[in-house]
Amino acid sequence: MSGHSKWSTIKRKKGANDAKRGKIFTKLIKEITIAAKMGGGDPDGNPRLRSAITTAKSENMPKDNIDRAIKKGTGDLDGAVYEEILYEGYGPAGVAVLVETMTDNKNRTVADIRHYFAKSNGNLGESGCVAWMFDQRGVITVDAEGVDEDELMELAIEAGAEDVVEEEGSFRILTAPEDFNDVVEALEKAEVKMEEASISMVPQNTVEVTEEKPAKNLLNLLDNLEDHDDVQKVHANFDIPDEIIEALS
């Protein structure tokens, strides 16, 4: 498993406090809103919206919040106008970083992101500088507790998944983007609880970070980015040894 996936799993297992949960809801509402704006308010005909709703439900977001976000996207309710912007750069140790943002003020957003990179001994790059190192994949996370690996593997593969791997108490299911919705539907029908389901950017290769100081700087960069209100997702191609991850967590 890549270091970013490992780090995210550790943080998820620790749980989120109320302030963090509020930020998670804010990001999910933005994603639902723009998904509905781009593809309509019917999740059956809008895979991106369906994915956002699945993730929102896994975070126990109230149905009223989800419905309001959809209505804002379709124009039935007034709301802020968001713009999607992808930023790319290099973190400590030459790690490639992709930052997906959704903002109503791109000048504010880029200034903050550039500051985070510089503060962590990284640098914000030009468009296209690292995106080629990642492939788009459907990524579905299932809590491993009470789940039979063989049964989950059979169900997911039959529905079109490419792979199922166990990592840090969870199963991670990978799909091609075009098969993502079919796999999610199969899991829903089988009443398999998904912790997260989204189209993500998966690194083709990873950069091993074996020294504690650059590892700490890198993880601080990722934490700062993920904590920013305008940042939806962060992807990075690093791998950090378990002992360093655990020491820093």
Candidate ranges 51-60, 174-183, 194-203; pick with highest mean pLDDT? 174-183
pTM: predicted TM-score of the whole model, two decimal places: 0.82
As a whole number, mean pLDDT of residues 91-97 equals: 95
Q: Which pLDDT score is estimated for 59?
A: 82
Rounded CA-CA distance 68/80 in Å is 13
Strand partners, 124: 89
More confident residue, 54 or 153: 153
More confident residue, 3 or 203: 203
First to last CA, the chain: 17
Whole-number CA gyration radius for the chain: 18
On the question of pLDDT at 23 being above 70, the answer is yes
HSE at residue 49, side-chain half, CA atoms within 13 A, is: 22
Q: 24 phi and psi, to 5 degrees? A: -60, -45
Q: Which pLDDT score is estimated for 12?
A: 60
Backbone φ/ψ region at 205: left (φ over 0), alpha (ψ -120 to 50), beta: beta
Q: Which pLDDT score is estimated for 246?
A: 79
Pick from 88, 87, 54, 97: nearest CA to 198: 54
On the question of pLDDT at 15 being above 60, the answer is no
CA distances from 223 to 99, 198, 231 (A): 12, 20, 11
On the question of pLDDT at 175 being above 60, the answer is yes
Rounded CA-CA distance 51/207 in Å is 29
Please state the three-class secondary structure of the chain as a single string.
Answer: CCHHHHHHHHHHHHCCCHHHHHHHHHHHHHHHHHHHHHHCCCHHHCHHHHHHHHHHHHCCCCHHHHHHHHHHHHCCCCCCCCEEEEEEEECHHHCEEEEEEEECCHHHHHHHHHHHHHHCCCEECCCCCCHHHEEEEEEEEEECCCCCHHHHHHHHHHHCCCEEEEECCEEEEEECHHHHHHHHHHHHHCCCCEEEEEEEEEECCCEECCCHHHHHHHHHHHHHHHHCCCEEEEEECEECCHHHHHHHC
On the question of pLDDT at 65 being above 50, the answer is yes
Which domains are assigned to the chain? 83-132+205-248 (3.30.70.980)
pLDDT tens figures, 124-172:
999 999 999 999 999 999 988 888 999 999 999 999 999 999 887 889 9
Q: Which pLDDT score is estimated for 1?
A: 45
pLDDT tens figures, 109-130:
999 999 999 999 999 999 999 9
Average pLDDT, the chain: 88
List CB contacts of 35: < 8 A, sequence separation 6 or more.
Answer: 46, 48, 49, 51, 52, 73
pLDDT tens figures, 186-230:
998 999 988 888 888 999 999 999 999 999 999 999 999 988 989
